[in-house]
Amino acid sequence: MSEQRTARMPAVLAGLVLLACATACAGGTAGGAPGTAPGSSAGGTAARSSAPASAQPENGVAALPGPEIVQRSVAALKEAGSVRITGRGSSQGQTVTFDLSADTAGNCAGTMGLSGQGTFRLVKLGTQLWVKPDEVFWRTHGGAATEDLVGDKYLKTTTDNTDFSEIGTVCDLDALGSALVEQTPGGLAVGRPVTVDGTPAVPVTGTADGATSTLTVATRGRPYPLRMERTGGEETGRVELKEFGTPVPTQTPAPSDTIDLDRLNGGGDEPTDPSTLSL
């Protein structure tokens, strides 16, 4: 395999992360199987009610102006401590799917994929990051030599790697919530009541730069943001949020199941020939 393709592969992985970040923050759809990172779980911070959403008391957000509904939903999201985000979004002609569990500590685990180009598993604990592309991804971006070298192992790096520095936004609920507030357009309109997966909710819609964004917020129990949608403009998609307060799996891949991505990419200015690496 050529050195150019070896050096390009981490950038392609990072590109998927950035695309998911763009669609998740702006509104990116439910779908895909859950990303199953290996391991145990850490505790969430928000108490969860076992009562059906329709039986929980109204939280009053339906009577509030749009900007305040958004603010309360973001506060509830951060108080939950963790959430599962499933989505599909398109940007610059590419469609990315993702199914991630994330928390306010910046930990996350799940899967991401690019249409027709494969998927990869992702595990992030603190600043440590592991990614595991599937065979389709290797064939599209890595080539047979890299696929044979890495096999069924995870590639390990950190968020200090500039290619992956933006992953903190999509994996950190605090950052995601702040981005949601910052990107909320002006002139928000509160729509008629709807139901999202059995939960009574209200949509808040705004338009800016030719794009329409809608945030749908629960009106019973905690005012969680249940759905984000964006139509028109360069970035479109839909994101579903669920399993609030469910801990993120935190067990990381064993060293024997990983290979250092920085070594695979040379650890410097010049890429390393995969044939020279030993596992």
pTM of the model: 0.77
- pLDDT band for 242, please (50, 70, 90 cuts): very high
Q: What is the pLDDT of residues 159-208, one digit of tens each?
A: 888 777 767 667 888 877 777 777 666 678 999 999 999 999 999 998 88
Range of the domain at 180: 3-40+57-261
Give kind and range of the element (H or E) at residue 4: helix 3-26
Distance, CA of 156 to CA of 262 (rounded, Å) = 8
Residue 54 has pLDDT above 80, yes or no: no
147 by DSSP, 3-state: which?
A: helix
CATH number at residue 152: 2.50.20.20
- Structural domain count, the chain: 1
Q: Are strands 258-260 and 154-158 parallel, antiparallel or unpaired?
A: parallel
Q: Is residue 8 part of a domain?
A: yes
Q: Count of CB atoms within 10 A of residue 223's CB?
A: 25
Q: Is residue 272 part of a domain?
A: no
Q: Is residue 175 part of a domain?
A: yes
- 262 against 120, higher pLDDT: 120
Q: Is residue 79 part of a domain?
A: yes
Q: Is residue 267 part of a domain?
A: no
Phi/psi at 159 (5° precision): -75, -5
Tell me how far CA of residue 158 lies from CA of 93, 96, 167, 245, 269, in angstroms.
28, 22, 10, 26, 17
The fraction of the chain above a pLDDT of 70, given in percent, is: 68
Q: What is the pLDDT of residues 145-160, one digit of tens each?
A: 666 777 788 989 888 8
Residue 76 has pLDDT above 50, yes or no: yes
Distance, CA of 32 to CA of 98 (rounded, Å) = 7
Q: How many residues in the chain?
A: 279
Handedness of CA 76, 81, 86, 87 (dihedral sign): positive
E strand segments, the chain? 82-91, 94-103, 108-114, 119-125, 128-133, 154-158, 189-190, 194-196, 199-208, 211-218, 225-231, 235-242, 258-260
- 10 against 171, higher pLDDT: 171
Q: Is residue 276 part of a domain?
A: no
Q: Is residue 181 part of a domain?
A: yes
Q: Is residue 279 part of a domain?
A: no
Which pLDDT score, from 0 to 100, does residue 178 have?
Answer: 77
List Cβ neighbours of 279 (8 Å cut-off, separation of 6 or more): 149, 153, 259
End-to-end CA distance of the chain: 18
φ/ψ bin of 9: left (φ > 0), alpha (ψ from -120 to 50), beta (otherwise): alpha
